[in-house]
Amino acid sequence: MKKINKVEFTKRAANDLDKLVDNIKTRQSDKVAKDFTEDFDRVIDLIQDQPDMFEASPKIKGTRRGLFHKYGAFLYRVFKKSIRVVTFFDTRTKQ
């Protein structure tokens, strides 16, 4: 599969990510929050090359669930020319 260069975030995903990073800064430290965002950036690079690398979500058809940090997971959809990040989850809370 050809590399997908365009990565989009839904408004919900952007808000979820901001809240998650703020929560990590409050509960942990700025360094942990920085590591968290760097881990996510690395995973985005990987899924641009291999969009199907994470398993399909059993709950939401057409999405994949990616784990990228001990505190974070996300759902995304793969399209022909883009990847859309739908939402983020704090893995420390029950979904």
40-84 confidence digits (pLDDT tens): 999 999 999 999 999 998 888 999 999 887 778 899 999 999 999
The torsion of the CA quartet 73, 1, 82, 66, rounded to 10 degrees, works out to: 0
Please report the domains of the chain, with CATH numbers, ordered by start residue: 6-90 (3.30.2310.20)
pLDDT at 4: 87
Q: What number is the average pLDDT over the span 15-20?
A: 93
pLDDT value at residue 62: 92
Mean pLDDT, range 9-27, rounded to an integer: 93
Note the pLDDT of residue 94.
52
Q: Look at residue 93 and tell me whether its pLDDT is greater than 80.
A: no
